[in-house]
Amino acid sequence: MSQVAARQSAGVEQTIARIQQWKKTRCAVIIAHNYQPDEIQAVADYTGDSLELARLAAKTEAEVIVFAGVVFMAESAKLLSPQKTVLLPVKEAGCPLADTITAEDLRQARQQHPQAAVVIYVNSPAEVKALADVCCTSANAVEVVNSLPQAEVIFAPDKNLAHWVARHTQKRIIPWPGSCCTHNNITAKDVAAAKQAHPEAKFMAHPECRPEVCGQADAVLSTSQMLRRAKAEKATEFIVGTEIGMLYRLRKENPEKTFYPLSSRMVCRSMKMTSLADLADALEYIKYPVEVPEPIRMGAFQALEAMLKIN
Ligand code: CIZ
């Protein structure tokens, strides 16, 4: 090992020791989204999708929850655990998809479609969730929409997930024009190239991908569903059509199988903002506490609770 590499590795060890020490002092847990950098997932107490993690945060005895993820995820944890301190280590880590909708936009859409129910994907700001009839995840979106009495549904903010839902329901879906740039930038050409490179591999796509990408998938799955499918399938090779952070856990939990990213461009910049030093600083200096005003928290909590009653 070169001297530079040895110094870097000693620096990483020191930062991890600082994280462990402050985690104990603060009686904290670290939870990391499936899209976080490998080294962050490696030091986390729990990894998962945004809702799994918010539920875990609510169940833990810990008083401080460090959420390695993006703003809407830390907010969701706070919605379910208002009495706990929820920290987002990088306060600028926003979600470009969540930013495609505001509460005012949604109020106007409701006025235009007064008969329609409003289903809001969890990748959205708390004040938007607060105006929804019910929330959904990518794993349960179809089930949530089909459970509603209304024949029309405003589905926001992801247009590709809305399209996926529309294919699996009799209801009229009114899609919001938002999308996740990490998923939406991928085209049928990328799929063709990945399939040509790995002809034996099963292709799992996330429903935030474009319809022509999902249309070529062996299965369209949320991140938690991908983890379950990769374990259960006899196949030993998979092309993974979602953010590349997902490969860390897939590989760790299935060492005998091989996972290929659909494209090396599937990198969410916001998800990659968190560093080990940010985690250590978050714990030592209590950075950055997430606050959701109580009337908004109550409204958003009700929309989440309505979803949890469905599944
Ligand atoms: O809700 C989540 O965690 C995201 C962003 C994706 C998924 O499918 O789990």
pLDDT tens for each residue of 166-183:
999 999 999 999 999 999
Q: Which amino acid is at 71?
A: V
Q: Does domain 98-179 have CATH number 3.40.50.1110?
A: no
Q: Residue 239 — pLDDT band, cuts 50, 70, 90?
A: very high
Q: What is the reported pLDDT for 171?
A: 98
User: Residue 311: pLDDT above 90?
Assistant: no
Q: Per the structure block, which two tokens stand in for 113?
A: 């479609």
Q: Is the pLDDT of residue 246 over 80?
A: yes
Q: Does residue 133 have its Cβ closer than 6 Å to ligand 1? A: no
Please check whether residue 137 is in contact with residue 121, taking contact to mean a CB–CB distance below 8 angstroms: yes
Q: Which residues pair with 258 in a beta bridge?
A: 237
76 lines ligand 1 (CB under 6 A): no
* Mean pLDDT of the region 44-49: 96
The finding on whether 222 has its CB within 6 A of some atom of ligand 1 is yes
Instruction: Give the whole-angstrom CA distance, residue 265 versus residue 271.
Output: 14
Task: Say if residue 291's pLDDT is above 90.
Answer: yes
d(CA 242, CA 125): 22
Domain with CATH 3.40.50.10800 in the chain: 3-93+272-292, 98-179, 182-261
Closest CA to 154 of 223, 199, 193, 107: 107
Please state, in angstroms and rounded to a whole number, the distance separating the CA atoms of residues 223 and 250. Answer: 10
- Per-residue pLDDT, averaged over 215-240, amounts to 98
137 pocket-lining for ligand 1 (C-beta < 6 Å): yes
DSSP letter at 289 equals B
pLDDT tops 90 at residue 288: yes
Q: Provide the CATH number for the domain formed by 182-261 in this structure.
A: 3.40.50.10800
Give residue 144's pLDDT.
97
- Cα 309 to averaged position of ligand 1 atoms, centre (Å): 19
119-163 residue pLDDT tens: 999 999 999 999 999 999 999 999 999 999 999 999 999 999 999
Atom of ligand 1 nearest to the CA of 49: 3
Ligand 1 pocket: which of 137, 240, 244 to mutate (most atoms <8 Å of CB)? 137
CATH code of the domain made up of 3-93+272-292: 3.40.50.10800
Q: What integer is the mean pLDDT of 30-51?
A: 97
Asked if 155 contacts 180 with a C-beta cutoff of 8 angstroms, the reply is: no
Query: Which atom of ligand 1 is least distant from the CA of 139?
Result: 8
CA atoms within 13 A on the CB side of 84: 29
Give the percent of the chain with pLDDT over 70. Answer: 100
Ligand 1: residue whose CA is nearest its atom 8: 222
| pLDDT for residue 2 is more than 90 | no
CB-ligand 1 contact for 223 (6 Å cutoff): yes
54 CA to centre of ligand 1 in angstroms: 12
Q: For residue 85, what are the contacts with CB-CB under 8 A and spacing of at least 6?
A: 63, 64, 65, 286, 289
Ligand 1 centroid, distance to 33 Cα (angstroms): 8
